[in-house]
Amino acid sequence: MERPVIVNACRLMRRLSRFLPALVVAASIGTAFAQSDAATEEESDPVTDYFVGNLLFVFYHELGHGLIHKLDLPVLGREEDAADQLATLMLMDAGTDSVGGEPVLTAALGWLDSWKKRDGEAEESDYWDEHSLDLQRYANIVCLVYGSDPDSYKNLVAEWDLPADRAERCPNDFYSAAASWNSVMDGVWVTEEQPAPADNRSFTLEVEPAQSEETREIAHYVAEQQVFEGLIESMNQNMILPAQIKVVARDCGEENAYYDPETSEITMCYEWLATFMADAEKQAE
């Protein structure tokens, strides 16, 4: 791989990794992911780790769809896979946690857990779905993480079921994904040459109250801990979009999250967040 691609990939990683620490500090939902020498193993909460890691992966995945729409980006392949790649890159180099070791690996565990819930069996409709199988999403995240630094992540080959022949291709997969996103994002980042306006509202937020007993607890948690407020603030400090994206947390009647190009909204459904929390508590048992 040529040196310029590696440099571009590393530059993208530095830019992307600014979001997560700001989210955690502003939201006050735990210090496990904060990039600080003061963070200790005792401070890490596995329930928070698992919940936040999976929530952020899903959010950044939907952000990928939003950026593809707002920036009118070409997608050579499946858009869902491209969005997964952005979510993985956004979570890399974001500190450590007490579940998977890093938020991005915690997100990988989330997809593996989802696959295991179905006893590892796919239905015919899964092969027609625009998303990769949950087990494939797990595998692709692990591959990108390994490919970003094979020496540091060599344990993934033995401990995370990464086949040796796939591992050989993972560095190219990582640099291809990072360089591709970097090439289309340069005009979006806030820089000294392109500062963000003081009133930048590229991203807005609406947190709706729960409409059912099943989601009332998670909706209260999201509102009380300001889970999304810090993230939106950080994104407005670091990104300028040609048109606004609104983030909405609400009841949906199903476990889901989605970006709607007609309304330019990212919807995070309380039902899926509740599932993340329930799975997080099981992980901590």
What does the alpha-carbon distance between residue 91 and residue 100 come to, in Å, rounded to a whole number? Answer: 12
Convert the pLDDT of each residue in 51-73 to its tens digit. Answer: 888 999 999 999 999 999 999 99
Which helix (H) or strand (E) segment holds residue 147: the answer is helix 134-148
pLDDT for residue 102: 81
Which residue ranges in the chain fall short of pLDDT 50?
1-14, 17-42
Share of the chain above pLDDT 90, in %: 48
Residue 70's Cβ-side half-sphere holds a number of Cα atoms within 13 Å equal to 25
Which helix (H) or strand (E) segment holds residue 31: the answer is none
Q: What is the DSSP string of 162-181?
A: --HHHHHHHHHHHHHHHHHH
Whether residue 85 contacts residue 177, with contact meaning beta carbons closer than 8 Å, is answered with yes
Structure tokens at 145: 């993480």
Residue 95's Cβ-side half-sphere holds a number of Cα atoms within 13 Å equal to 26
Location of structure tokens 């009380």: 224
Quote the longest CA-to-CA distance of the chain. Answer: 55
- Alpha carbon separation from 153 to 1, 104, 148, 172, 241 (Å, rounded): 19, 13, 8, 15, 34
Whether residue 86 contacts residue 67, with contact meaning beta carbons closer than 8 Å, is answered with yes
Whether residue 264 contacts residue 230, with contact meaning beta carbons closer than 8 Å, is answered with no
What does the alpha-carbon distance between residue 73 and residue 91 come to, in Å, rounded to a whole number? Answer: 21
Kindly state the DSSP code that residue 215 receives in the 8-state scheme: H
pLDDT for residue 44: 62
